[in-house]
Amino acid sequence: MSLVHLYMAVSIVAEVIATTMLKASDGFTRLLPGAAAVLGYGFAFYFMSLTLRSVPTGVVYAIWSGAGIVLVSIISLIIYKQVLDLPAIVGIVFILVGVLIINLCSQSVAH
């Protein structure tokens, strides 16, 4: 795993944690989850900025947001019992396939 991949992975994990904490903050009415959300997004954007040094912006954002959507959806199902309907699941599968195609086939991603 290259440093670019590590930066991207840290950015995605931080964004997923931040989004999960954003839900837990209940509209920023709960201090600790709200603070964790803000801190998590700060880490996410910092590490994304490091990734942007060597990978095109569109590719970084596609991978970051796509992976985040898939992971947040899974976490929301487990933690918040938020069940998705079939069209939402199919859409998320398409997003996952798109992220995989970018990572496995695109020359725009540092391999």
Query: Does residue 13 belong to any structural domain of this protein?
Result: yes
- Dihedral sign, Cα of residue 21, residue 26, residue 27, residue 31: negative
Q: What is the CA radius of gyration of the chain?
A: 15
Total domains in the fold of the chain: 1
Please report where in the chains the tokens 């931040």 appear, as a residue: 18
Query: Does residue 33 belong to any structural domain of this protein?
Result: yes
Query: Does residue 26 belong to any structural domain of this protein?
Result: yes
Closest to 72 measured CA to CA, from 8, 6, 10, 22? 22
Query: Does residue 111 belong to any structural domain of this protein?
Result: no
What band does 104 get if pLDDT is binned at 50, 70 and 90? confident
Query: Does residue 15 belong to any structural domain of this protein?
Result: yes
Residue-range definition of the domain harbouring residue 28: 3-105
Q: Say what the pTM is.
A: 0.88
What band does 105 get if pLDDT is binned at 50, 70 and 90? confident
Query: Does residue 56 belong to any structural domain of this protein?
Result: yes
Query: Does residue 58 belong to any structural domain of this protein?
Result: yes
